[in-house]
Structure 1
Amino acid sequence: MKLPPIISAKEFQNLNREDLVIVDAGSGDSAYENYLKEHLEGALYVDLNKDLAEIPQHAKNGGRHPLPSLEKFAEVLYRLGIDENSHVIVYDDKNASNAAARFWWMLRSAGIEKIQVLNGGLQMAKEKGLSTNSEIIEAKKVEKISLKKWKLPKVDLDFIEKNSENAEFLVIDVREKDRYDGKSEPIDEIAGHIPGAINVTFKENLNEDGTFKNPEMLREKYVKLLKNIPSEKIAIHCGSGVTACHTLLALDYAGFEIPNLYVGSWSEWSRNDKEIATNI
């Protein structure tokens, strides 16, 4: 039986901890320092920039957070004590909108089925009384798994350029509206959006307390948006292929087939002399 991709703090408390690999997925300059100060009891650390991406010299080539090589990711999983049989719980401090969702997508794409994201992240876990400490534990000893390919669908810049304005396809940009509209751009060099892309921010997947909306609410929302377009003709993107995974996670939670991830996202598109649309 397939596990739901989201797990509540209460459900997490009732699990047998001996069977789990708990992962604190961090991003940002102070992420590891924050992990050392406090994390969920038994959690190991994984870093967005160092472990979940292969940061390029120029974001023109694949965006700001291209996927690492399969060999590198296999090493990361080995270090964390994760194999095909592991039950993994991952969280971050950004309501799963950042490294936790990216790690979920990468594990699923690597063939690890028992991967769940802690609903509401570290904040909600602490509110619900889950134990935290600063203890660093050793990972379980496992055999290193061999990864042959990313199993979940993804597309590249050429695919987006050919299809973004095709009525049979749907490109969803999950960034904040001001970035999409072209009014501001705090990270990349140019503001705006890919022509033909619609804006459905990842924050629309969440309740006010930072937890995911329930599957029924998400399904009702996305049934209207997706308009029976098949998943292979849908691509989700953000700034660099990270928060897009939050919407992919929400779609899986709502019972949809997981559509394509455009990993390069806006950070790649906007650096390659492609057409830029704005709403100014």
Structure 2
Amino acid sequence: MILKKSTKLLGILLTLSLSVTVLAACGSKQEVKEDGKAKTITAKELKDKIGKSDWVVVDTRENDAFNGWTLDGVKRGGHIKGATDFSAAWLKADNKDKDKRLDDALKTKGISAEKNVVLYDANGKDAKEVGDYLSKKGYKNIYTYDVKEWAKDESMPMEAYTNYQMLVPASWVKDLVDGKKPETYKGKEYKIFEVSWGDETKSPDYLKEGHIKGAVHINTDEVEEGPLWNRISDDRLQKFAESSGITTDTTVVLYGADSMPSFRVAAILKYMGVKDVRVLNGGTAKWKNAGYELEKTSNKKTAVASFGATVPANKGYIVDLPQAKEIIADKQGSKLVDIRSWDEHIGKTSGYDYIKPKGRPAGSVWGHAGTDNSNLDDYRNVDNTMRNQDEIIAMWKEWGITPEQRLSFFCGTGWRAAEVLTYADVMGLKNISLYDGGWNEWSGNTGNPANPIETGEPKKQQ
């Protein structure tokens, strides 16, 4: 009898001890439930924690959902206001620097083991995957949440990028191909293009690996030419559009193994006057990772009689040398933003074997890029999707670049800068453009005294 009473008393004491431990860790009013290694949290509790220094709220879904798309049955698109992002898809990315970049992302986003970390998703999988990853790194205070509950309540604040529709998820393209009417699509004629340099036999995607059903190949030589690699003349651009079956009202979807050429063509099409230009966020890898089929047939272009407008119908979207000089001369409200590597910006290298001069246009400011002219790691997540808007703006702020200024982006020959221009457009910036000629034109390739050049490390502008 005494043994039975002692055992019962021990059980009561253990239960009380566990309760005290949970309350101490989570606050006396917080109700948590064990869910594997993580705990669940209610919407009310989550709302109270947002913005507190010892809590961080993390969206673990595909970045398309974070940007604004209504995926996985969520009623409203976008992310919980105040949340950052760390997608489960990043853990599967094919990137040789993945581990380092993931560690850097955790640091930049303030996701640390010392904080309480709330991971949310809508499919019951993403948060668990990220939670397991963090647990292996020693994180203890991990909570999970289903964002569908939050999205149902219109009083709960959510944010989406102003023009999120410009970057599309693979599922959106799949719905389009299958004859459905996906979100934001107005049901007009569409065209899908795989974009890369060279003809379709040289494309790493088009015939070798296969392409999205119905996609037609675009060789970047069709819209730009050397030696400056500026866009071709307006008359020739109009003929390119008509021969490709593109009008001002065509929904154009662009993608490729490397997305940079797609953004180059996207910027030119917008300059021409195409109203609905989309790029597959993350490129071909996202289509393959979703398990969607590829075809290897050669699809030919179907011409149209008229583009529907005189090119350029959106002239200010791309500017040339005279406008670039005007932007530099405006010391207050404008910035000519250099989207090249730091070594290119300070004149350590030109970045190109066919460009001899080194340096930057005098008066331009550094806007970040990547380690060399082949990547844009500072603007991309590890899976090559668009980086968090807040982090992009924070990068710019270090160099005196602000969203309300007139911003014109340039690089060596327009590819990297076109991608950043699109991201700025997605973010809703208004007074933005691409300086098409970039360093190749400004430098004159042999040095042009009329275009002053600076080298060396600049001072950050406040």
TM-score, structure 1 length as denominator? 0.84
Indicate how the Cα distance of structure 1 residues 141 and 241 shifts in structure 2: closer, same or farther if over 3 A, else same: closer
Q: CA deviation at 1:140?
A: 4.2
Out of 321, 346, 357, which is 1:157 matched to?
Answer: 321
User: For 1:132, what is the secondary structure of its paired residue?
Assistant: coil
Q: Which residue of 2 aligns with 1:127?
A: 289
- 2:408–2:435 Cα contact (<8 Å) kept: yes
Letter in 2 for 1:20: Y
Distance 1:237 1:85 in 2: 28
Q: CA deviation at 1:191?
A: 1.5
Distance 1:44 1:279 in 2: 44
Q: Which residue of 1 aligns with 2:202?
A: 32
User: For 2:415, what is the secondary structure of its paired residue?
Assistant: coil
User: For 2:428, what is the secondary structure of its paired residue?
Assistant: coil
Letter in 2 for 1:42: G
Q: Which residue of 2 aligns with 1:174?
A: 339
Q: CA deviation at 1:72?
A: 1.6
Q: Which residue of 2 aligns with 1:139?
A: 301
Letter in 2 for 1:278: T
User: For 1:88, what is the secondary structure of its paired residue?
Assistant: strand
CA RMSD between the two structures: 2.7
Out of 133, 149, 174, which is 1:13 matched to?
Answer: 174
Q: Which residue of 1 aligns with 2:52?
A: none
User: For 2:231, what is the secondary structure of its paired residue?
Assistant: coil
- 1:216–1:254 Cα contact (<8 Å) kept: no
Which structure has more relative contact order (CA 8 Å, sep 6+)? It is 1
Q: Which residue of 2 aligns with 1:198?
A: 365
Which ranges in structure 2 are unaligned for 5 or more consecutive residues?
A: 1-161, 180-188, 370-375, 458-462
Distance 1:236 1:123 in 2: 27
Distance 2:215 2:431 in 1: 27
Q: CA deviation at 1:142?
A: 3.1
| Structure with max Cα Rg | 2
Out of 257, 268, 277, which is 2:441 matched to?
Answer: 268
Distance 1:243 1:205 in 2: 10
User: For 2:383, what is the secondary structure of its paired residue?
Assistant: coil
- 1:91–1:100 Cα contact (<8 Å) kept: yes
User: For 1:175, what is the secondary structure of its paired residue?
Assistant: coil
Taking only the aligned residue pairs, the percentage that are identical comes to: 22
Q: CA deviation at 1:71?
A: 2.3
Out of 272, 275, 289, which is 1:113 matched to?
Answer: 275
Indicate how the Cα distance of structure 1 residues 277 and 165 shifts in structure 2: closer, same or farther if over 3 A, else same: farther
- 2:164–2:426 Cα contact (<8 Å) kept: no
Q: Which residue of 2 aligns with 1:53?
A: 224
- 2:195–2:262 Cα contact (<8 Å) kept: yes
Q: Which residue of 2 aligns with 1:148?
A: 310
Letter in 2 for 1:53: E
User: For 1:134, what is the secondary structure of its paired residue?
Assistant: coil
User: For 1:249, what is the secondary structure of its paired residue?
Assistant: helix
Q: CA deviation at 1:144?
A: 2.3
Distance 1:3 1:107 in 2: 18
Distance 1:119 1:261 in 2: 20
Distance 1:53 1:194 in 2: 22
User: For 1:14, what is the secondary structure of its paired residue?
Assistant: helix
Q: CA deviation at 1:171?
A: 0.9
Which ranges in structure 1 are unaligned for 5 or more consecutive residues?
A: none
State how many pairs are aligned.
268
Distance 1:162 1:113 in 2: 27
Letter in 2 for 1:8: P
Distance 1:238 1:145 in 2: 29
User: For 1:39, what is the secondary structure of its paired residue?
Assistant: coil
Letter in 2 for 1:240: T
CA deviation vs aligned residue, 1:147-175 (integer Å, no higher than 9, x gap): 42321413322333354254222110101
Q: Which residue of 1 aligns with 2:251?
A: 87
